[in-house]
Structure 1
Amino acid sequence: MFFVRNISQTAIKVSINIETLIKNCEMSKASITISTIHVRFFKGLKDVKVDFIDQDATIRGCNGSGKTTLFDAFTWSLFGSDSQGNSDSKFNIKTLDKDNNVIPRVDHSVELTLGVDGKEVVIKRILKEKWVKVRGSLEPTFQGNKSEFFWNDVPKTSREFQDKVNGIIDESIFKLLSNPLGFNQLHWEKQRNILITIAGEVSDSELATGNDSFTKLLSKLSDKSLGEYKKELAAKRKKLKDAIADIPARIDEVGQGKPEQRDFDSLKQELGKQEVSLNMVQSQIDDLNKAAESVETEKKKIRDKIFELTTSTGRTKLELKQLLEQNQLDPYKREKEIQSDLSIKESEHTNLLTQKNDLSYSLDRSESKIRELDAELVKLREEFNAESKKKLVFGDDFKCPTCHRPLEEEDVEKQKKDMQSDFNEDKAKSLEILNKKGLQLKERLEDEKEISKNLQDKINEKVLNLKDCDKEIKSLKVLLEEEKSKPKADQQSIESQLQDKLDFNKDYQACLKEIKELEVKLENFKAPDNQELIKKKNELSEKIDGLKTQLREEQSIIDADKRIKELSESESSYAQQIADVEKEEFVAQEFTVAKVSALESRVNKLFGDGIKWKLFTKQINGAEVPTCQLTYNGVPWPDLNTASQINTGIEVINVLSAHYGINFPIWVDGRESVTNLQETESQVINLVVSEEHKTLTVV
Structure 2
Amino acid sequence: MKRIVLERLTLNNFKGIKNLVLASNGGDADVYGDNATGKTTMFDGFVWLLFGKDSQNKADFEIKGLDGAGKVLQHRLEHEVEGVFLIDGRRRTFRRIFKEDWTKKRGSVTDEFTGHTTTYFLDGVPVKKGEYTAEVDSIIKEDLFKLLTSPSYFNEQLKKEDRRKTLLEVCGDLTEAEVIHGNKELASLPGILGDRNLESHKKVISSRCTVINKEIKELPVRISEVQRQMPDVAELDDEELLKEDIAILRNRVESGDAELSRILSGGEVAVKEKRLREIESELIDIKSRMHSDVLDKLALKRDEVNRIHIEVDRYRREIEDKQQRIQQNERSTVNRRQEAERLRTEFAELKGLVFEHPEGHDAHCSACGQSLPEDQVKAAHDKAEADFNRKLAERKERINASGKAAVADAQKFEEDTARLQVEIETLNSTLQVLQTELTGADNELNELRMGVKDPTTDPDYAKKQAEATQVKQQIEVLRTSGEEAAATTRFVIRQQRAEIEEMERDLAKFDSVRRAQMRVMELEKQERELAAEYERLQHELFLCEEFTKTKVSMLDAKINSKFKLARFRLFEDQINGGIKEVCDTLYKGVPYDGGLNNAARINVGLDIINTLGEHYGFSAPIFVDNAEAVTRLIDTDAQVIRLVVSEVDKKLRVETAAMQEAI
- Contact 2:7/2:85 (<8 A) preserved: yes
> Which structure 2 residues correspond to residues 330-349 of structure 1 after superposition, within 5 A?
none
- Say if 2:580 is the partner of 1:625: yes
- Alignment partner of 1:199 out of 143, 159, 171: 171
The runs of 5 or more residues in structure 2 that have no matched partner are: 234-238, 268-273, 278-471, 656-663
- How far apart are residue 68 of structure 1 and its match? 1.8
> Which structure 2 residues correspond to residues 201-350 of structure 1 after superposition, within 5 A?
201-209=173-181, 213-227=185-199, 229=201
- Contact 1:148/1:157 (<8 A) preserved: yes
In 2, distance between residues paired with 1:382 and 1:201? 73
In 2, distance between residues paired with 1:259 and 1:631? 71
- Say if 2:7 is the partner of 1:35: yes
- Say if 2:617 is the partner of 1:661: yes
- Contact 2:103/2:114 (<8 A) preserved: yes
Aligned to 1:188: 160
- Alignment partner of 1:612 out of 568, 584, 587: 568
Q: Amino acid of the residue matched to residue 161 of structure 1?
A: Y
- Contact 1:61/1:696 (<8 A) preserved: yes
Aligned to 2:282: none
- SS of the residue corresponding to residue 167 of structure 2 reads helix
- How far apart are residue 115 of structure 1 and its match? 1.6
1:629-684 deviation line (CA, Å, top 9, x unaligned): 32333333222332232222222222322233211101111111122323322111
In 2, distance between residues paired with 1:94 and 1:572? 70
1:496-547 deviation line (CA, Å, top 9, x unaligned): xxxxxxxxxxxxxxxxxxxxxxxxxxxxxxxxxxxxxxxxxxxxxxxxx9xx
- How far apart are residue 193 of structure 1 and its match? 2.9
- Say if 2:8 is the partner of 1:52: no
1:356-409 deviation line (CA, Å, top 9, x unaligned): xxxxxxxxxxxxxxxxxxxxxxx46884598469856989xx9x9xxxxxx999
1:433-460 deviation line (CA, Å, top 9, x unaligned): xx9xxxxxxxxxxxxxxxxxxxxxxxxx
Identity %: 32
In structure 2, do the counterparts of structure 1 residues 394 and 386 end up closer, same or farther at CA, with 3 Å as the change threshold? Answer: closer
- Contact 2:30/2:644 (<8 A) preserved: yes
> Which structure 2 residues correspond to residues 395-544 of structure 1 after superposition, within 5 A?
none
- Contact 2:5/2:26 (<8 A) preserved: no
- Say if 2:149 is the partner of 1:149: no
Aligned to 2:467: none
In 1, distance between residues paired with 2:59 and 2:523? 71
In structure 2, do the counterparts of structure 1 residues 245 and 125 end up closer, same or farther at CA, with 3 Å as the change threshold? Answer: closer
- How far apart are residue 594 of structure 1 and its match? 1.0
Aligned to 2:147: 176
- Contact 2:569/2:582 (<8 A) preserved: no
The runs of 5 or more residues in structure 1 that have no matched partner are: 1-28, 261-266, 269-274, 276-378, 401-406, 436-544
- Contact 1:39/1:110 (<8 A) preserved: yes
In structure 2, do the counterparts of structure 1 residues 557 and 692 end up closer, same or farther at CA, with 3 Å as the change threshold? Answer: closer
- Contact 2:6/2:25 (<8 A) preserved: no
- Contact 2:5/2:620 (<8 A) preserved: yes
Deviates more, 1:630-639 or 1:122-131: 122-131
TM-score (norm. length: structure 1): 0.48
- Alignment partner of 1:160 out of 131, 152, 169: 131
1:117-142 deviation line (CA, Å, top 9, x unaligned): 12222333344566789999999887
In 2, distance between residues paired with 1:561 and 1:162? 74
- Give the root-mean-square deviation of aligned CA atoms: 6.3
- How far apart are residue 218 of structure 1 and its match? 0.7
- Say if 2:611 is the partner of 1:671: no
In 2, distance between residues paired with 1:564 and 1:136? 86
- SS of the residue corresponding to residue 172 of structure 1 reads helix
- Contact 2:15/2:63 (<8 A) preserved: no
Aligned to 1:637: 592
Q: Amino acid of the residue matched to residue 114 of structure 1?
A: F
- SS of the residue corresponding to residue 692 of structure 1 reads coil
Q: Amino acid of the residue matched to residue 109 of structure 1?
A: E
In structure 2, do the counterparts of structure 1 residues 559 and 684 end up closer, same or farther at CA, with 3 Å as the change threshold? Answer: closer
Q: Amino acid of the residue matched to residue 40 of structure 1?
A: N
- Contact 2:64/2:72 (<8 A) preserved: no
Aligned to 1:480: none
- Say if 2:40 is the partner of 1:84: no
- SS of the residue corresponding to residue 101 of structure 1 reads coil
Aligned to 1:596: 552
- Contact 1:611/1:632 (<8 A) preserved: yes
In 2, distance between residues paired with 1:604 and 1:647? 16
- How far apart are residue 32 of structure 1 and its match? 0.9
- How far apart are residue 92 of structure 1 and its match? 1.2
- SS of the residue corresponding to residue 638 of structure 1 reads coil
**Structure index of larger Rg:** 1
- Alignment partner of 2:641 out of 676, 685, 695: 685
In structure 2, do the counterparts of structure 1 residues 637 and 137 end up closer, same or farther at CA, with 3 Å as the change threshold? Answer: same
